Each structure stands twice: as C-alpha cells, then as structure tokens.
Copies of this chain bind each other. A is one copy, B any other.
Amino acid sequence: MSNMLDLDNLISVLKNVVVKNRVPFSLHEPCLAGNEWKYLKDCLDTGWVSSVGKYVDKFEKALAEFTGAKYAVAVVNGTAALHICLKLVGVSPGDEVLAPALTFVATANAITYCGALPHFVDSEEKTLGLDPRKLVDYLKDIAAVTDAGCFNRQTGRRIKAVVPVHTFGHPVDMEPLLELCQSYKLDLVEDAAESLGSLYKGRHTGTFGFVSALSFNGNKIATTGGGGAILTNDQEQAGFARHLTTTAKLPHRWAFVHDTVGHNYRMPNINAALGYAQLEQLPDFLKRKRSLAEKYYEAFRDFEGIKVFKEAPFARSNYWLNVLLLDENYVHLRDNLLVLTNDQGIVTRPAWTLMSKLSMYKGCPKMNLEVAESLERRLINIPSSAGVA
C-alpha cells in the first residue's frame, strides 16, 4: 500500500479526529452556548427587533474593538457588505475589478451589482488566495497606469480595484499586494467574509483594505443568522456606508429626502443581538478551531498522497474550514472520497467551481489560472466546527 493513497485508511483517520474531538459531522455549524438567549429575550422585552437598537451599536463596537478597525457597520449579509464596499471606493459600470477565480460566487456577484466586470486572478498554494507576485507580472503585461488610474490595454476598460479573498480563513500575502495597489493605483477592498479572527503579521485581516467586508452567515465562525459588516478606518466612509445601507435618507425630524440610490441593507437588532453573544465567545471558538486544525495536521502528517493545509509563516488563520489537498496524481480519487465520506455522514465538499467556468462569468477577462485550477482539482473541505469539545 505504500506510494498509494489508501482511501479507507484516509477516512478512518479523518473520522478518528472528528469523533475523538466531538466535532459535528457537518462542515461548519454554529455554536450557540453563550448569552444568545439573554440578548434575544432582551430584544423582545424591549420591543427593539428591527434595524434600530442597542445591539446593533454593541455589535459594531465589539467588532471594531476585536478587529482593530476604527469603524464597523453591520449589514444584512457579506454580499451586501462587499457590494457597498465596492460602491464606496467608486467601482462604476464598465470598470474591471481584479478578484480570485477561486472564491465563493458572492465575490463576483457583488462586482456585477456595480455594473462592473470581474477580472479573474490566479491563486497561490501557500495561502490558497490571490497570488500578488503573479498578478504584478500579469499587470506589467496588460495594464497601463495613467493619471486617470489603471487601464486594461486589451479591453480599454478601467481596472478600478482588487479584491483579495482570505480563502477559508487563510490570509492572503498582503504586503506585496499593498505595494501592487500603490504602483497600479488600485483600490484595495478585502473580502474578509471567511477570515474573522485571522491575522496577517499580527494585524487583523479586513483592516488592510480601504474598506472590507465580513460575513456572519450561519456557516461562519460567528453568526448572526444572516449578516455581514463593513470595516474601515475612515470616518467619512463609515458614515457613507451607514447612509448607503439605510436608503440614503438625509437626517431630518420627519421629512423623507434621499440623496442617492441607496439600499435596505442594515442588520436588524435581533440578528445583532445574536452576533454580540457570538463575538463574546469568539476567542474561545478560535482556540478550539486552531486545536482541531493541529489535530488534523498531525493525523495526516505522514499520509501518502494527501496533506492538510497549514497557515503560511506570516499568517495566523482562524481555520474556518480545514482543507485536505490531494497530490496531483490522486485527483481522480476526489469524487470517490466525497461520496464515501458524505455517505457516512461526514460532510465534505470540493472547492467552489472556478468563477471563470460559470456560464455568466465565462466571458470575463482572466489571467492564466493554473494554480487555481490545480487547487480546484485537489481541494476538499472537511468538518471544522468549533464543536462541543
């Protein structure tokens, strides 16, 4: 059996870690063991359930404090957060926005909501995220920087921004990306939907971009049922984010005057109450998820044909979703592995289909995506809840 990937053995090792650590067999489920009841009941008792209420303020303050961002604006979900972030930096119809091909569809959708086009970028294996060095080489070939910004010489369109995604919680290599943004006059919008609690060189992901998006969907490390948030250090942008997410209504005692096309994107108070209770438990969730990741890593350390993804040296990951990577010569076994695990109730899933392959994004500009394509073939997510351990 040496020099062979032994599927049965793989599943038994996987199961062993999960069972021994009492990890739920699902991919990621919420852990509601704190003050969730207390705060929700408080909302009902006071009648404050909607988008004005003290838990929205509390949640935003706790989030700003935890991440080190100056301002946090709570919204209905991560997609809405990213949509507003892109509007805040001025992404406009006809623009291109650089984003990884290997991401959840919301990243590309939010770009499309602005009338802009995603321009797909390759990933690197050490972070699973956007490869800034490969991107800079690519931009040397295709981009022209003028006083008016960065332009795609092939399409003539403006390249307005770049959206790194901290995939499965693992931080992108931000330093070279920040340099690239400066050289090419690109706005940096971080899609930190998956990386609450993840640090790059000691600094929280989502605090590097001019504005950044977080998610609190039910499958995330901390949940508000459905929810998201915008992070920024810029007071004016925070104010404008609040304005745009509350129908752009001008403050007035009673008059209804709105000064631009706004959105109904604010987080209701009951969702924020849940989130506030979740944030109190976040340090504990992070500790438990890190411990689970280490156990997976150890269990598969010498396993032939597969490895567990480990954070890069500059990163401290939240390990939102743990990742198995098949060696390239075993990728034909991926679907077998998915069937066998899911049949036994251990929920696993492959990488998202690359955005560049989806029917509505097939025609969008893209660079060579060979690493993303390799990761797409090789990657499997395994159960990763903080669980009950």
Q: Which of A11-19, A321-329, A345-353 contacts B (4 or more CB under 8 A)?
A: A345-353
Q: Which of A151-159, A232-240, A255-263, A300-308 contacts B (4 or more CB under 8 A)?
A: A255-263
Q: Enumerate A43-67 residues with CB–CB distance to B below 8 Å.
A: 44, 47, 49-52
Asked if A338 lies at the interface with its beta carbon under 8 angstroms from chain B, I say yes
CB <8 Å contact, B262 and A50: no
A27 nearest in chain B by CB position: B254
Asked if A270 lies at the interface with its beta carbon under 8 angstroms from chain B, I say yes
B contact residues around A271 at 8 Å (CB): 225-226, 268, 270-271
B contact residues around A262 at 8 Å (CB): 105, 109
CB <8 Å contact, B76 and A260: no
- How many of these chains are in the complex? 2
CB <8 Å contact, B350 and A255: yes
**Alpha-carbon distance A12/B54, docked complex (angstroms):** 33
**Alpha-carbon distance A49/B219, docked complex (angstroms):** 10
**Alpha-carbon distance A164/B225, docked complex (angstroms):** 32
B contact residues around A79 at 8 Å (CB): 263-264
Asked if A30 lies at the interface with its beta carbon under 8 angstroms from chain B, I say yes
Asked if A148 lies at the interface with its beta carbon under 8 angstroms from chain B, I say no
B contact residues around A78 at 8 Å (CB): 264
CB <8 Å contact, B261 and A112: yes
Which of A47, A78, A270, A349 has the most chain B CB atoms inside 10 A of its CB? A270
Measured CB to CB, the closest approach of chain B to A91, in angstroms, equals 15
Measured CB to CB, the closest approach of chain B to A78, in angstroms, equals 7
**Alpha-carbon distance A41/B32, docked complex (angstroms):** 11
CB <8 Å contact, B50 and A44: no
Q: Select A40's contact among B44, B249, B342, B350, beta carbons within 8 Å.
A: B44
Q: Select A226's contact among B36, B112, B268, B342, beta carbons within 8 Å.
A: B268
Measured CB to CB, the closest approach of chain B to A303, in angstroms, equals 22
Which of A37, A247, A264 has the most chain B CB atoms inside 10 A of its CB? A264
| Contacts A217-B50, A226-B51, A256-B352; A106 near B32 (Cβ below 8 A) | no
**Alpha-carbon distance A72/B67, docked complex (angstroms):** 39
Asked if A218 lies at the interface with its beta carbon under 8 angstroms from chain B, I say yes
CB <8 Å contact, B49 and A225: yes
Beyond the given A37-B44, A109-B261, please list 9 additional residue pairs across the A-B interface where CB-CB is below 8 A: A30-B47, A49-B225, A51-B225, A109-B263, A218-B268, A224-B268, A226-B267, A256-B350, A270-B271
- A residues engaging B (CB < 8 A)? 29-30, 32, 36-37, 40-41, 44, 47, 49-52, 76-80, 104-106, 109, 112-113, 115, 217-219, 223-226, 247-249, 253-264, 266-271, 274, 338, 342, 348-353, 358-360
The 7 closest A-B pairs by CB, nearest first: A50-B218, A225-B268, A79-B264, A226-B268, A256-B352, A254-B349, A225-B270
